[in-house]
Amino acid sequence: MFEDTIAAISTAWGEAGIAVVRVSGPEARQIVDSVFSGVKPLSATPPRYMRNGFLVDAKGEPLDKVLAVWFRRPKSFTGEDVAEIQCHGGTLVARTCLDLCISKGARHAEPGEFTRRAFINGRIDLTQAEAVLGIIRSKSEEALRASSRVLEGQLGEYLQDLYHEILDLSAKLEVGLDFPEEDIPFLDDTEASNRLLTFQQSLEDLLDRCRTGFLLRDGIRVALVGRPNVGKSSLLNALLQESRAIVTSVPGTTRDVIEEVLTYRGVPLTIVDTAGIGKPADEVEAIGIERAEKELHRAEVRVWVIDGSEDLTEADRDLAARISPLKHVVVINKADLPLATTEGTVREILPVSPVFIISAQRGEGLEKLKDEIVSMIAGSGTLDAGLNASSRQIHELQQCLNALADSRKALDKGLGQDVAGTCLSDALDSLERVLGIQVDDPLLDTIFSQFCVGK
Protein backbone atom coordinates (compact mmCIF):
# COMPACT_ATOMS: atom_id res chain seq x y z
CA MET A 1 0.00 0.00 0.00
CA PHE A 2 1.16 3.51 -0.78
CA GLU A 3 1.55 6.06 1.96
CA ASP A 4 0.86 9.17 -0.08
CA THR A 5 -2.44 10.34 -1.46
CA ILE A 6 -2.66 11.38 -5.10
CA ALA A 7 -5.14 13.60 -6.91
CA ALA A 8 -5.95 14.61 -10.47
CA ILE A 9 -8.74 15.81 -12.71
CA SER A 10 -9.94 12.57 -14.30
CA THR A 11 -12.12 14.09 -16.98
CA ALA A 12 -10.93 15.78 -20.16
CA TRP A 13 -9.59 19.31 -20.04
CA GLY A 14 -11.93 22.08 -21.19
CA GLU A 15 -15.52 23.14 -20.72
CA ALA A 16 -18.01 20.36 -20.09
CA GLY A 17 -21.11 19.53 -18.07
CA ILE A 18 -19.13 18.12 -15.19
CA ALA A 19 -15.54 17.44 -14.21
CA VAL A 20 -14.38 14.74 -11.82
CA VAL A 21 -11.51 15.23 -9.42
CA ARG A 22 -10.30 11.89 -8.13
CA VAL A 23 -8.28 11.44 -4.95
CA SER A 24 -6.72 8.11 -3.98
CA GLY A 25 -4.72 7.03 -0.94
CA PRO A 26 -4.99 6.77 2.83
CA GLU A 27 -5.99 10.43 3.28
CA ALA A 28 -8.45 10.55 0.37
CA ARG A 29 -11.64 10.86 2.40
CA GLN A 30 -10.25 13.41 4.90
CA ILE A 31 -8.82 15.56 2.11
CA VAL A 32 -12.08 15.68 0.20
CA ASP A 33 -13.96 16.27 3.43
CA SER A 34 -11.84 19.31 4.17
CA VAL A 35 -12.85 21.01 0.91
CA PHE A 36 -16.47 19.83 0.91
CA SER A 37 -19.41 21.08 2.91
CA GLY A 38 -22.60 19.00 2.80
CA VAL A 39 -25.49 18.22 5.13
CA LYS A 40 -23.14 15.60 6.52
CA PRO A 41 -19.40 15.23 5.98
CA LEU A 42 -18.06 12.32 3.92
CA SER A 43 -16.71 10.78 7.13
CA ALA A 44 -20.34 10.32 8.21
CA THR A 45 -21.48 9.14 4.78
CA PRO A 46 -21.51 5.45 3.82
CA PRO A 47 -19.17 4.51 0.94
CA ARG A 48 -20.58 4.72 -2.61
CA TYR A 49 -23.25 7.16 -1.46
CA MET A 50 -23.40 10.42 -3.39
CA ARG A 51 -23.49 13.43 -1.10
CA ASN A 52 -24.72 16.80 -2.30
CA GLY A 53 -22.89 19.90 -1.04
CA PHE A 54 -20.48 22.73 -1.82
CA LEU A 55 -16.86 22.94 -2.70
CA VAL A 56 -15.43 25.43 -0.21
CA ASP A 57 -12.21 27.41 -0.14
CA ALA A 58 -9.82 27.77 2.80
CA LYS A 59 -12.15 30.33 4.43
CA GLY A 60 -15.15 28.07 4.07
CA GLU A 61 -16.62 30.21 1.24
CA PRO A 62 -18.62 28.12 -1.28
CA LEU A 63 -17.14 27.97 -4.79
CA ASP A 64 -19.37 25.48 -6.59
CA LYS A 65 -22.26 23.14 -5.95
CA VAL A 66 -20.83 19.61 -6.17
CA LEU A 67 -21.40 15.92 -5.52
CA ALA A 68 -18.94 13.91 -3.46
CA VAL A 69 -18.56 10.18 -3.02
CA TRP A 70 -16.01 7.82 -1.54
CA PHE A 71 -15.07 4.16 -1.93
CA ARG A 72 -13.62 2.08 0.87
CA ARG A 73 -10.47 0.10 0.15
CA PRO A 74 -10.02 -2.47 -1.29
CA LYS A 75 -13.28 -2.11 -3.19
CA SER A 76 -12.27 0.83 -5.32
CA PHE A 77 -10.59 1.30 -8.69
CA THR A 78 -7.13 1.63 -7.16
CA GLY A 79 -7.67 -0.77 -4.27
CA GLU A 80 -7.15 2.06 -1.76
CA ASP A 81 -9.54 4.62 -0.29
CA VAL A 82 -10.77 6.78 -3.15
CA ALA A 83 -12.85 9.95 -2.94
CA GLU A 84 -14.23 11.90 -5.87
CA ILE A 85 -15.76 15.29 -6.34
CA GLN A 86 -18.01 16.01 -9.30
CA CYS A 87 -17.92 19.74 -9.87
CA HIS A 88 -19.15 21.77 -12.82
CA GLY A 89 -17.00 21.25 -15.87
CA GLY A 90 -15.27 24.60 -16.18
CA THR A 91 -11.51 24.59 -16.52
CA LEU A 92 -11.10 27.04 -13.61
CA VAL A 93 -13.45 25.32 -11.20
CA ALA A 94 -11.96 21.87 -11.82
CA ARG A 95 -8.46 23.29 -11.44
CA THR A 96 -9.42 25.11 -8.21
CA CYS A 97 -10.99 21.95 -6.82
CA LEU A 98 -7.80 20.03 -7.56
CA ASP A 99 -5.60 22.81 -6.10
CA LEU A 100 -7.66 22.77 -2.90
CA CYS A 101 -7.12 19.00 -2.57
CA ILE A 102 -3.39 19.52 -3.15
CA SER A 103 -3.32 22.26 -0.50
CA LYS A 104 -4.84 19.77 1.94
CA GLY A 105 -2.05 17.29 1.45
CA ALA A 106 -2.62 15.38 -1.78
CA ARG A 107 0.08 15.14 -4.44
CA HIS A 108 -0.46 15.60 -8.20
CA ALA A 109 -0.87 12.15 -9.78
CA GLU A 110 1.51 11.10 -12.53
CA PRO A 111 0.11 9.93 -15.90
CA GLY A 112 -1.62 6.59 -15.42
CA GLU A 113 -0.85 6.53 -11.70
CA PHE A 114 -4.36 5.51 -10.61
CA THR A 115 -4.24 2.54 -12.96
CA ARG A 116 -0.69 1.75 -11.89
CA ARG A 117 -1.84 1.66 -8.27
CA ALA A 118 -4.76 -0.59 -9.26
CA PHE A 119 -2.19 -2.97 -10.77
CA ILE A 120 0.31 -2.79 -7.86
CA ASN A 121 -2.50 -3.28 -5.36
CA GLY A 122 -3.64 -6.40 -7.22
CA ARG A 123 -7.02 -5.05 -8.37
CA ILE A 124 -6.18 -5.82 -11.99
CA ASP A 125 -3.38 -7.66 -13.76
CA LEU A 126 -1.11 -6.01 -16.27
CA THR A 127 -3.17 -7.16 -19.26
CA GLN A 128 -6.20 -5.42 -17.78
CA ALA A 129 -4.21 -2.26 -17.04
CA GLU A 130 -3.09 -2.12 -20.66
CA ALA A 131 -6.67 -2.79 -21.78
CA VAL A 132 -7.75 0.41 -20.01
CA LEU A 133 -5.51 2.27 -22.42
CA GLY A 134 -6.99 0.30 -25.31
CA ILE A 135 -10.51 1.33 -24.25
CA ILE A 136 -9.52 4.98 -24.07
CA ARG A 137 -7.91 4.84 -27.50
CA SER A 138 -10.47 2.72 -29.34
CA LYS A 139 -11.60 4.28 -32.59
CA SER A 140 -14.16 1.68 -33.62
CA GLU A 141 -16.77 -0.39 -31.85
CA GLU A 142 -14.89 -3.58 -32.73
CA ALA A 143 -11.67 -2.22 -31.17
CA LEU A 144 -13.62 -1.23 -28.08
CA ARG A 145 -15.03 -4.74 -27.74
CA ALA A 146 -11.55 -6.24 -28.18
CA SER A 147 -10.32 -4.09 -25.30
CA SER A 148 -13.26 -4.75 -23.05
CA ARG A 149 -12.78 -8.52 -23.47
CA VAL A 150 -9.28 -8.07 -22.05
CA LEU A 151 -10.45 -5.75 -19.29
CA GLU A 152 -13.00 -8.38 -18.36
CA GLY A 153 -10.04 -10.73 -17.89
CA GLN A 154 -10.24 -12.97 -20.98
CA LEU A 155 -6.55 -12.61 -21.84
CA GLY A 156 -5.26 -12.54 -18.26
CA GLU A 157 -7.24 -15.57 -17.12
CA TYR A 158 -6.18 -17.61 -20.12
CA LEU A 159 -2.52 -16.72 -19.62
CA GLN A 160 -2.73 -17.38 -15.86
CA ASP A 161 -4.02 -20.89 -16.61
CA LEU A 162 -1.33 -21.48 -19.20
CA TYR A 163 1.30 -20.14 -16.82
CA HIS A 164 0.29 -22.62 -14.13
CA GLU A 165 0.17 -25.51 -16.55
CA ILE A 166 3.67 -24.72 -17.80
CA LEU A 167 4.82 -24.32 -14.21
CA ASP A 168 3.38 -27.72 -13.39
CA LEU A 169 5.10 -29.36 -16.36
CA SER A 170 8.34 -27.63 -15.52
CA ALA A 171 8.12 -28.90 -11.91
CA LYS A 172 7.50 -32.45 -13.14
CA LEU A 173 10.53 -32.28 -15.42
CA GLU A 174 12.64 -31.01 -12.55
CA VAL A 175 11.47 -33.72 -10.15
CA GLY A 176 12.59 -36.28 -12.69
CA LEU A 177 16.01 -34.66 -12.73
CA ASP A 178 16.30 -34.35 -8.98
CA PHE A 179 15.73 -38.03 -8.40
CA PRO A 180 17.65 -39.69 -11.20
CA GLU A 181 18.25 -42.81 -9.09
CA GLU A 182 14.55 -43.60 -9.47
CA ASP A 183 15.61 -44.36 -13.02
CA ILE A 184 12.25 -43.55 -14.57
CA PRO A 185 11.48 -39.86 -15.08
CA PHE A 186 8.18 -38.76 -13.56
CA LEU A 187 6.94 -37.90 -16.98
CA ASP A 188 8.27 -39.61 -20.07
CA ASP A 189 9.54 -37.49 -22.97
CA THR A 190 6.64 -38.32 -25.29
CA GLU A 191 4.06 -37.39 -22.70
CA ALA A 192 5.84 -34.10 -21.96
CA SER A 193 6.18 -33.39 -25.66
CA ASN A 194 2.46 -33.98 -26.19
CA ARG A 195 1.56 -31.59 -23.42
CA LEU A 196 3.85 -28.98 -24.95
CA LEU A 197 2.16 -29.42 -28.31
CA THR A 198 -1.23 -28.73 -26.73
CA PHE A 199 0.12 -25.54 -25.11
CA GLN A 200 1.62 -24.44 -28.40
CA GLN A 201 -1.60 -24.94 -30.33
CA SER A 202 -3.75 -23.11 -27.89
CA LEU A 203 -1.28 -20.24 -27.53
CA GLU A 204 -1.17 -19.99 -31.30
CA ASP A 205 -4.96 -19.53 -31.39
CA LEU A 206 -4.70 -16.89 -28.71
CA LEU A 207 -1.97 -15.04 -30.58
CA ASP A 208 -4.23 -14.91 -33.63
CA ARG A 209 -6.90 -13.24 -31.55
CA CYS A 210 -4.33 -10.79 -30.17
CA ARG A 211 -3.09 -9.93 -33.65
CA THR A 212 -6.67 -9.25 -34.68
CA GLY A 213 -7.09 -6.97 -31.68
CA PHE A 214 -3.88 -5.17 -32.55
CA LEU A 215 -5.16 -4.70 -36.07
CA LEU A 216 -8.45 -3.31 -34.85
CA ARG A 217 -6.59 -0.72 -32.84
CA ASP A 218 -3.62 0.14 -35.02
CA GLY A 219 -5.08 -0.65 -38.40
CA ILE A 220 -3.44 -1.10 -41.78
CA ARG A 221 -1.33 1.40 -43.67
CA VAL A 222 -2.22 1.39 -47.34
CA ALA A 223 -0.19 3.28 -49.97
CA LEU A 224 -1.76 4.27 -53.25
CA VAL A 225 1.01 4.08 -55.84
CA GLY A 226 1.12 4.54 -59.57
CA ARG A 227 2.20 7.04 -62.15
CA PRO A 228 0.69 10.51 -62.21
CA ASN A 229 -2.86 11.05 -63.43
CA VAL A 230 -4.07 7.46 -63.09
CA GLY A 231 -6.61 8.45 -60.43
CA LYS A 232 -4.92 7.94 -57.05
CA SER A 233 -6.32 11.10 -55.51
CA SER A 234 -9.72 10.35 -57.01
CA LEU A 235 -9.58 6.90 -55.45
CA LEU A 236 -8.68 8.36 -52.08
CA ASN A 237 -11.55 10.78 -52.37
CA ALA A 238 -13.93 8.08 -53.44
CA LEU A 239 -12.84 5.99 -50.47
CA LEU A 240 -13.41 8.88 -48.15
CA GLN A 241 -16.47 10.04 -50.01
CA GLU A 242 -15.30 13.57 -49.59
CA SER A 243 -12.92 15.76 -51.55
CA ARG A 244 -9.87 16.66 -49.54
CA ALA A 245 -7.07 15.79 -51.95
CA ILE A 246 -6.79 18.00 -54.99
CA VAL A 247 -8.07 16.29 -58.11
CA THR A 248 -6.83 17.76 -61.34
CA SER A 249 -5.96 16.62 -64.84
CA VAL A 250 -2.44 18.14 -64.76
CA PRO A 251 0.06 15.32 -64.18
CA GLY A 252 2.16 15.39 -61.02
CA THR A 253 0.07 17.73 -58.86
CA THR A 254 -0.02 15.48 -55.84
CA ARG A 255 3.35 16.72 -54.70
CA ASP A 256 3.23 15.69 -51.11
CA VAL A 257 1.97 12.72 -49.21
CA ILE A 258 -1.64 12.98 -48.09
CA GLU A 259 -3.04 10.49 -45.64
CA GLU A 260 -6.52 9.91 -44.33
CA VAL A 261 -8.02 7.33 -42.04
CA LEU A 262 -11.23 5.45 -42.66
CA THR A 263 -12.64 2.44 -40.89
CA TYR A 264 -13.65 -0.73 -42.65
CA ARG A 265 -15.06 -3.75 -40.77
CA GLY A 266 -13.76 -2.04 -37.62
CA VAL A 267 -10.21 -1.86 -38.95
CA PRO A 268 -8.74 1.63 -39.31
CA LEU A 269 -7.25 1.96 -42.79
CA THR A 270 -4.71 4.75 -43.16
CA ILE A 271 -4.78 5.50 -46.86
CA VAL A 272 -1.72 7.32 -48.09
CA ASP A 273 -1.92 9.05 -51.44
CA THR A 274 1.60 9.30 -52.81
CA ALA A 275 2.99 11.47 -55.54
CA GLY A 276 3.34 9.70 -58.82
CA ILE A 277 6.39 7.54 -58.94
CA GLY A 278 8.44 8.33 -62.02
CA LYS A 279 10.84 10.94 -63.33
CA PRO A 280 10.52 14.27 -61.50
CA ALA A 281 9.98 17.46 -63.51
CA ASP A 282 11.31 19.76 -60.77
CA GLU A 283 12.75 19.77 -57.27
CA VAL A 284 9.44 19.89 -55.44
CA GLU A 285 8.22 16.94 -57.41
CA ALA A 286 11.48 15.13 -56.66
CA ILE A 287 10.81 15.45 -52.91
CA GLY A 288 7.30 14.10 -53.40
CA ILE A 289 8.65 11.17 -55.35
CA GLU A 290 11.23 10.44 -52.68
CA ARG A 291 8.47 10.38 -50.04
CA ALA A 292 6.40 8.11 -52.24
CA GLU A 293 9.35 5.71 -52.42
CA LYS A 294 9.50 5.62 -48.61
CA GLU A 295 5.76 4.99 -48.38
CA LEU A 296 6.08 2.14 -50.83
CA HIS A 297 8.13 0.29 -48.22
CA ARG A 298 6.51 1.63 -45.08
CA ALA A 299 2.95 0.64 -45.97
CA GLU A 300 1.65 -2.83 -45.24
CA VAL A 301 -0.38 -2.99 -48.44
CA ARG A 302 0.26 -1.16 -51.72
CA VAL A 303 -2.51 -0.43 -54.14
CA TRP A 304 -1.06 -0.06 -57.59
CA VAL A 305 -3.43 2.14 -59.53
CA ILE A 306 -3.44 1.84 -63.34
CA ASP A 307 -5.28 4.06 -65.80
CA GLY A 308 -7.31 1.41 -67.61
CA SER A 309 -8.14 3.76 -70.46
CA GLU A 310 -4.47 3.77 -71.52
CA ASP A 311 -1.91 1.13 -72.41
CA LEU A 312 0.66 0.16 -69.81
CA THR A 313 3.83 2.23 -70.06
CA GLU A 314 7.44 1.46 -69.28
CA ALA A 315 7.02 3.28 -65.92
CA ASP A 316 4.09 0.98 -65.11
CA ARG A 317 6.11 -2.12 -65.86
CA ASP A 318 8.98 -0.85 -63.67
CA LEU A 319 6.63 -0.26 -60.78
CA ALA A 320 5.01 -3.67 -61.27
CA ALA A 321 8.41 -5.34 -60.94
CA ARG A 322 9.11 -3.43 -57.74
CA ILE A 323 5.84 -4.12 -55.97
CA SER A 324 5.63 -7.74 -57.03
CA PRO A 325 7.62 -9.09 -54.03
CA LEU A 326 5.69 -6.81 -51.64
CA LYS A 327 2.09 -7.21 -50.44
CA HIS A 328 -0.06 -5.47 -53.02
CA VAL A 329 -3.26 -5.32 -55.00
CA VAL A 330 -3.74 -4.04 -58.53
CA VAL A 331 -6.49 -1.62 -59.40
CA ILE A 332 -7.49 -0.94 -62.99
CA ASN A 333 -9.18 2.44 -62.74
CA LYS A 334 -11.42 4.42 -65.11
CA ALA A 335 -13.53 1.39 -65.96
CA ASP A 336 -16.25 3.80 -67.03
CA LEU A 337 -14.12 4.44 -70.14
CA PRO A 338 -13.25 1.84 -72.81
CA LEU A 339 -10.44 -0.28 -71.36
CA ALA A 340 -7.08 -0.44 -73.12
CA THR A 341 -5.54 -2.32 -70.18
CA THR A 342 -7.49 -5.33 -68.96
CA GLU A 343 -7.09 -7.94 -66.26
CA GLY A 344 -5.43 -10.14 -68.89
CA THR A 345 -2.78 -7.49 -69.61
CA VAL A 346 -1.96 -7.24 -65.92
CA ARG A 347 -1.83 -11.02 -65.55
CA GLU A 348 0.95 -11.15 -68.14
CA ILE A 349 3.27 -9.27 -65.77
CA LEU A 350 1.76 -10.09 -62.36
CA PRO A 351 0.15 -13.52 -62.77
CA VAL A 352 -0.98 -14.08 -59.17
CA SER A 353 -1.85 -10.59 -57.95
CA PRO A 354 -5.40 -9.74 -56.94
CA VAL A 355 -6.81 -7.41 -59.61
CA PHE A 356 -9.81 -5.11 -59.21
CA ILE A 357 -11.54 -3.17 -61.92
CA ILE A 358 -13.00 0.04 -60.56
CA SER A 359 -14.16 3.50 -61.41
CA ALA A 360 -13.00 5.99 -58.80
CA GLN A 361 -15.14 8.62 -60.45
CA ARG A 362 -18.32 6.60 -60.12
CA GLY A 363 -17.31 5.00 -56.82
CA GLU A 364 -17.67 1.50 -58.29
CA GLY A 365 -15.80 -1.61 -57.12
CA LEU A 366 -14.53 -0.07 -53.88
CA GLU A 367 -16.20 -2.45 -51.41
CA LYS A 368 -14.41 -5.51 -52.81
CA LEU A 369 -11.11 -3.63 -52.83
CA LYS A 370 -11.39 -2.70 -49.13
CA ASP A 371 -12.44 -6.24 -48.34
CA GLU A 372 -9.33 -7.64 -50.03
CA ILE A 373 -7.03 -5.19 -48.20
CA VAL A 374 -8.41 -6.18 -44.80
CA SER A 375 -8.41 -9.91 -45.63
CA MET A 376 -4.80 -9.71 -46.82
CA ILE A 377 -3.69 -8.70 -43.36
CA ALA A 378 -6.37 -10.12 -41.10
CA GLY A 379 -6.95 -13.38 -42.96
CA SER A 380 -10.45 -14.41 -43.91
CA GLY A 381 -11.37 -15.26 -40.33
CA THR A 382 -13.74 -13.32 -38.19
CA LEU A 383 -12.73 -10.09 -36.51
CA ASP A 384 -15.28 -10.69 -33.75
CA ALA A 385 -13.03 -12.52 -31.30
CA GLY A 386 -10.18 -10.00 -31.21
CA LEU A 387 -8.35 -9.34 -27.98
CA ASN A 388 -6.73 -5.97 -27.55
CA ALA A 389 -2.98 -6.46 -27.37
CA SER A 390 -0.02 -4.15 -27.61
CA SER A 391 2.98 -4.94 -29.80
CA ARG A 392 4.89 -5.58 -26.56
CA GLN A 393 2.39 -8.23 -25.48
CA ILE A 394 2.36 -9.85 -28.90
CA HIS A 395 6.16 -9.93 -28.88
CA GLU A 396 6.25 -11.63 -25.46
CA LEU A 397 3.61 -14.18 -26.45
CA GLN A 398 5.57 -14.96 -29.60
CA GLN A 399 8.71 -15.43 -27.47
CA CYS A 400 6.77 -17.76 -25.20
CA LEU A 401 5.58 -19.74 -28.21
CA ASN A 402 9.15 -20.02 -29.53
CA ALA A 403 10.38 -21.22 -26.14
CA LEU A 404 7.65 -23.87 -26.03
CA ALA A 405 8.63 -25.02 -29.52
CA ASP A 406 12.31 -25.18 -28.50
CA SER A 407 11.43 -27.16 -25.43
CA ARG A 408 9.48 -29.68 -27.46
CA LYS A 409 12.24 -29.93 -30.04
CA ALA A 410 14.72 -30.68 -27.24
CA LEU A 411 12.58 -33.56 -26.03
CA ASP A 412 11.91 -34.90 -29.51
CA LYS A 413 15.62 -34.91 -30.29
CA GLY A 414 16.38 -36.66 -27.02
CA LEU A 415 18.48 -33.78 -25.67
CA GLY A 416 17.11 -34.42 -22.20
CA GLN A 417 14.54 -33.01 -19.86
CA ASP A 418 17.01 -30.54 -18.36
CA VAL A 419 17.37 -28.73 -21.70
CA ALA A 420 13.59 -28.80 -22.17
CA GLY A 421 13.19 -27.39 -18.66
CA THR A 422 15.50 -24.45 -19.39
CA CYS A 423 13.40 -23.50 -22.41
CA LEU A 424 10.30 -23.68 -20.26
CA SER A 425 11.71 -21.18 -17.82
CA ASP A 426 12.12 -18.75 -20.76
CA ALA A 427 8.47 -19.34 -21.66
CA LEU A 428 7.47 -18.60 -18.07
CA ASP A 429 9.55 -15.40 -18.03
CA SER A 430 7.69 -14.09 -21.07
CA LEU A 431 4.31 -14.80 -19.50
CA GLU A 432 5.41 -13.13 -16.28
CA ARG A 433 6.22 -9.99 -18.20
CA VAL A 434 2.79 -9.96 -19.83
CA LEU A 435 0.88 -10.68 -16.63
CA GLY A 436 3.07 -8.39 -14.58
CA ILE A 437 4.12 -11.14 -12.16
CA GLN A 438 7.73 -10.01 -12.35
CA VAL A 439 8.12 -6.61 -13.89
CA ASP A 440 10.64 -3.95 -13.20
CA ASP A 441 9.90 -0.26 -12.75
CA PRO A 442 11.29 0.89 -16.12
CA LEU A 443 8.84 -1.41 -17.92
CA LEU A 444 5.94 -0.13 -15.80
CA ASP A 445 7.10 3.45 -16.45
CA THR A 446 7.00 2.78 -20.19
CA ILE A 447 3.53 1.28 -20.03
CA PHE A 448 1.89 3.82 -17.75
CA SER A 449 3.51 6.91 -19.25
CA GLN A 450 1.27 6.32 -22.29
CA PHE A 451 -1.77 7.08 -20.14
CA CYS A 452 -3.13 10.52 -19.49
CA VAL A 453 -3.02 12.19 -16.08
CA GLY A 454 -6.10 11.30 -14.09
CA LYS A 455 -6.43 7.75 -15.43
Site of interaction with ligand GDP (CB under 6 A): 226, 228-234, 247-249, 254, 276, 333-334, 336-337, 359-361
* Distance, CA of 346 to CA of 323 (rounded, Å): 13
The one-letter code for the residue type at 226 is: G
* Pick 229 or 417: Cβ nearer ligand GDP: 229
* Pick 85 or 230: Cβ nearer ligand GDP: 230
* Pick 29 or 334: Cβ nearer ligand GDP: 334
Question: In the complex, what is the shortest distance from the CB of residue 227 to ligand GDP, in angstroms, rounded to a whole number?
Answer: 7
Question: In the complex, what is the shortest distance from the CB of residue 231 to ligand GDP, in angstroms, rounded to a whole number?
Answer: 3
Question: In the complex, what is the shortest distance from the CB of residue 236 to ligand GDP, in angstroms, rounded to a whole number?
Answer: 8
One-letter-per-residue 3-state SS of the chain = CCCCCEEEECCCCCCEEEEEEEEECCCHHHHHHCCEEECCCHHHCCCCCCEEEEEECCCCCEEEEEEEEEECCCCCCCCCCEEEEEEEECHHHHHHHHHHHHHCCCEECCECHHHHHHHHCCCCCHHHHHHHHHHHHCCCHHHHHHHHHHHCCHHHHHHHHHHHHHHHHHHHHHHHHHCHHHCCCCCCHHHHHHHHHHHHHHHHHHHHHHHHHHHHHHCEEEEEECCCCCCHHHHHHHHHCCCCCCCCCCCCCCCCCEEEEEEECCEEEEEEECCCCCCCCCHHHHHHHHHHHHHHHHCCEEEEEEECCCCCCHHHHHHHHHHCCCCEEEEEECCCCCCCCCHHHHHHHCCCCCEEECECCCCECHHHHHHHHHHHHHCCCCCCCCCCCCHHHHHHHHHHHHHHHHHHHHHHCCCCHHHHHHHHHHHHHHHHHHHCCCCCHHHHHHHHCCCCECC
Question: In the complex, what is the shortest distance from the CB of residue 223 to ligand GDP, in angstroms, rounded to a whole number?
Answer: 13
Residue closest to ligand GDP when measured from CB atoms: 231
* Pick 6 or 358: Cβ nearer ligand GDP: 358
* Distance, CA of 87 to CA of 65 (rounded, Å): 7
* Pick 176 or 252: Cβ nearer ligand GDP: 252
* Pick 28 or 360: Cβ nearer ligand GDP: 360
* Pick 244 or 413: Cβ nearer ligand GDP: 244
Question: In the complex, what is the shortest distance from the CB of residue 315 to ligand GDP, in angstroms, rounded to a whole number?
Answer: 12
* Pick 276 or 386: Cβ nearer ligand GDP: 276
* Distance, CA of 28 to CA of 106 (rounded, Å): 8
Question: In the complex, what is the shortest distance from the CB of residue 374 to ligand GDP, in angstroms, rounded to a whole number?
Answer: 22
Question: In the complex, what is the shortest distance from the CB of residue 233 to ligand GDP, in angstroms, rounded to a whole number?
Answer: 3
Question: In the complex, what is the shortest distance from the CB of residue 254 to ligand GDP, in angstroms, rounded to a whole number?
Answer: 5
* Pick 101 or 245: Cβ nearer ligand GDP: 245
* Pick 155 or 236: Cβ nearer ligand GDP: 236
* Contacts for 310 with CB less than 8 Å, ≥ 6 apart: 340, 341
Question: In the complex, what is the shortest distance from the CB of residue 238 to ligand GDP, in angstroms, rounded to a whole number?
Answer: 8
Question: In the complex, what is the shortest distance from the CB of residue 228 to ligand GDP, in angstroms, rounded to a whole number?
Answer: 5
